[in-house]
Amino acid sequence: MLQRIPRAFLVIPSIAALIIATLWATQGRDAAEKVGTALIMPAGLLWLLLMCLAATYWPLRLRRSNAASESSSPRSWMLLLCFILYSIAGSGLISDALARKLEAPYLSMNPLTMQIPEVVIVLGGGAGAGANDRIQGNMSGDRLILAAQLYHQNQSIKFICTGKRIQSMDTTGVDPGQASRDLLMRLGVPADSIELLGGKNTSEEMKSLAARFGSDQKVGLLTSAWHLPRATRLAERNGLNVVPLPADFRTPAGKEGKTPGQWVEALIPNGGAMGGIWSFAKEYVGMTIGR
C-alpha cells in the first residue's frame, strides 16, 4: 500500500516532524506546538500539499524530459509556480518586510510625546458594526485608542472622523466615520469634540479637507502607520498641511530579531500574513495609480 504513495508525501511530512522535534529539544515545547499548529491549520496543510505535489512531479519531469508528451506538459511548472506564489502570498517574512518598508518613516515617532495640532483628522476604518449591532473596534482599532489617548492628554483637540460606506458593498447601515465617533464617545471623548466628514475613499476625503483647511492651517492626520505614506501623499497633493500621527503599527516590535521558532513559523503561510500582504499591496497599488 505504501509503495503506491509518492515518496514526497512520506518524506516531506517526516522532515516537518523532525523540525518540530528539533524545536522542542532546543526552543521548548511551546515553540514546537506553535509551529505544529501552524502546519495543521488549513493554510499550512495546503502549503504542505503543494510542496508534496511539486516535489513529486518535478523529478518526473526531469527523468522524462526527452519525451515529447512530458516536455510539452506544463503540469510540473504550474505546480512549482503555485507553491512558490502561495509561499510568498502567505509568508510572515514578506508581510513583515512590506510593513517595515511602509512604516519606516514613522518608527521613531510617538504621537503621545509630540505637539499635536488643534484639529486631528481620524481616517475611518478602525471600527464597524458587529453581528450584535454593537460598534466594535477592528484590527485597525488602535487609530481610535490613540485618538482617545490624545484627547485625554489635551482636551482642546477637535477630531474629524472620516468615512462613508459604499452601500453596494456594505449592508451594515453604519458609515466608518459614524462608527469611529461612536467608539470615541465610549472612550470618553465628548460629542462636541467630534465632527463627521464623508468620503468613500482617502482621495475623496483629502479633497474635501483641502477645500476647508487649505495649506495655512496645520492639521493632524491620524491613521495606521502603514497607510500614512499614501494618505500623506494625497493630503499634500491637495494642498493640505498635515502632521502625520501613526497608529496601528504592523512592524514587529522585537528589537533582538526573530527566534529560531519565529523564523520557522514565519515561513509557513497563514491567514494573518495573507491579510497583511493584501493590505500593504493595496497601498502600493494605490500609490502607483495615484489614489
Report the C-alpha gap between 157 and 193 in whole angstroms: 7
| 213 neighbors 117 (Cβ within 8 angstroms) | no
Spatial CB neighbours of 197, under 8 Å, sequence gap ≥ 6: 121, 160, 161, 162, 177, 205, 208, 209
Residue 238 has pLDDT above 70, yes or no: yes
For the segment 214-229, the average pLDDT, to the nearest whole number, is 94
Average pLDDT over all residues of the chain: 89
Same domain, 120 and 23: no
Model confidence at 187, in pLDDT bands (50, 70, 90)? very high
The strand pairing partners of 218, in sequence order, are 241
| 236 neighbors 242 (Cβ within 8 angstroms) | yes
Q: Which of 160, 263, 145, 253 is nearest to 209 (CA)?
A: 160
For the segment 181-188, the average pLDDT, to the nearest whole number, is 97
Residue % of the chain over a pLDDT of 90: 71
Provide the pLDDT for residue 281.
95
Spatial CB neighbours of 245, under 8 Å, sequence gap ≥ 6: 111, 114, 116, 120, 146, 150, 220, 221, 222, 223
Same domain, 84 and 186: no
Q: Which of 167, 184, 176, 185 is nearest to 205 (CA)?
A: 176
**For position 230, which CATH number holds?**
3.40.50
Same domain, 193 and 242: yes
Amino acid at position 240, single letter: L
Q: Which of 125, 231, 111 is nearest to 179 (CA)?
A: 125
Same domain, 142 and 174: yes
For the segment 152-172, the average pLDDT, to the nearest whole number, is 91
Provide the pLDDT for residue 1.
40
Report the C-alpha gap between 8 and 109 in whole angstroms: 49
Provide the pLDDT for residue 59.
59
Model confidence at 2, in pLDDT bands (50, 70, 90)? very low
Q: In sequence order, which ranges of 28-141 are alpha helices (DSSP H)? A: 29-40, 42-63, 68-71, 75-89, 92-103
3-class secondary structure, 161: strand
For residue 22, the tally of other CB atoms under 10 A from its CB is: 13
Asked, for residue 30, whether it belongs to a domain, the answer is yes
Provide the pLDDT for residue 74.
65
Same domain, 137 and 214: yes
Q: What is the pLDDT of residues 270-282, one digit of tens each?
A: 999 999 999 999 9
Helix axes 228-237, 271-289, angle to 10 degrees: 20
Provide the pLDDT for residue 69.
47
Same domain, 78 and 137: no
Q: Lowest-confidence range among 1-15, 160-174, 182-196, 206-220? A: 1-15
Report the C-alpha gap between 220 and 162 in whole angstroms: 13
β-bridge pairing 127-129 and 158-162: unpaired
Provide the pLDDT for residue 64.
52
Same domain, 113 and 246: yes
Spatial CB neighbours of 161, under 8 Å, sequence gap ≥ 6: 122, 124, 176, 177, 178, 180, 181, 184, 194, 195, 196, 197
What's the number of domains the chain is made of?
A: 2
Provide the pLDDT for residue 71.
46
Residue found under cell 500621527: 245
Report the C-alpha gap between 122 and 137 in whole angstroms: 14
The strand pairing partners of 161, in sequence order, are 122, 196
Same domain, 83 and 119: no
Q: What is the pLDDT of residues 10-65, one digit of tens each?
A: 888 898 999 999 999 999 999 999 999 999 999 999 999 999 888 887 655 555 55
Provide the pLDDT for residue 242.
96
For the segment 172-192, the average pLDDT, to the nearest whole number, is 95
Amino acid at position 71, single letter: S
Same domain, 241 and 128: yes
For residue 127, the enclosing domain spans 109-250
Same domain, 80 and 147: no
Asked, for residue 134, whether it belongs to a domain, the answer is yes
